[in-house]
Amino acid sequence: MNFAVFCSGHGTNLQAIIDAAKKRRISAKLALVVCDNPRAYAVKRAGRAGIPVAIFGPKDFPSKKELEAAVVRELGRENIKLIALAGYMRILSGNFVKRYRNRILNIHPALLPAFKGGQAIKDAIQYGVKITGATVHFVTEDVDAGPVILQAACPVKNNDNEKTLLARVHKLEHKIYPEAIELFARGKLKVAGRRVIVK
């Protein structure tokens, strides 16, 4: 099974996925990296690993609809059966999500449904929670709201700042994201309403 990773930034999750695939902890083939920014460090990581990169910058397309149509064509060419969003900073349209229903994963740096949105680490510190973590979930039309596949937790320490907490959460992400991709690849995930049964 071929899968793609979509990213926009630093790509530490992409790297964890590349490394897991190399160690055969992911049996599916990472066939494509999709990125919206040619200068993202993730592009370098993909290049180093010899993985094809497709750049779809918003400025290169007259509309989101046309950008997504181009992405869909590329995914078709590469026979992509699963998409893993890893810090991809664009919200996919309802049509795109429908087309890949239950075949798009996302990783979020909190224990959903707590701290949805783009500032989950900061929000967790500000709220004062003692435990936070990471969540892999299926993507639905509502942001950060799809059925949960895997979660892992870590403490929030008294002297944490965004950097220290992000580092701890990243460790969890880098472990559970490859695991979730492998579960999908082996056909072990069954979505039953809001619940994901891991077979």
User: Is the omega angle on the peptide bond into residue 147 within 30 degrees of 0, that is, cis?
Assistant: no
Q: What is the DSSP string of 88-153?
A: --SPPPHHHHHHTTT-EEEEESS-TTSS-STTHHHHHHHHT-SEEEEEEEE--SSTT-SPEEEEEE
Q: Write down the catalytic residue from 108, 137, 170, 174.
A: 108
Q: How many residues bind ligand GRF (CB under 6 A)?
A: 13
Other Cβ atoms less than 10 A from the Cβ of 184: the count is: 24
Binding mask 107-136 for ligand GRF (x = CB under 6 A): xxx---------------------------
Q: Which residue has the tokens 């892992």?
A: 152
Q: Which of residues 159-178 bind ligand GRF (CB under 6 A)?
A: 173
Buried b (16+ CB within 10 A) or exposed e, 100-127: bebebbbbbbbbbebbeeeebbebbbee
Q: Binding to ligand GRF by residue 13, rule CB under 6 A?
A: yes
Label the pairing between strands 104-108 and 131-138: antiparallel
- 137 labelled catalytic: no
Site residues (CB under 6 A) for ligand GRF, limited to 57-96: 86-87
* Interaction of residue 146 with ligand GRF, rule CB under 6 A: no
Q: Does residue 10 touch ligand GRF according to CB under 6 A?
A: yes
Residue 7 in the binding site for ligand GRF (CB under 6 A):
yes
In the complex, minimum distance from the CB of residue 43 to ligand GRF, in angstroms, rounded to a whole number: 11
Instruction: State yes or no: residue 33 binds ligand GRF (CB under 6 A).
Output: no
Which residue's Cβ lies closest to ligand GRF? 87
Q: Binding residues for ligand GRF, per CB under 6 A?
A: 7, 9-14, 86-87, 107-109, 173
What positions carry a catalytic annotation?
108
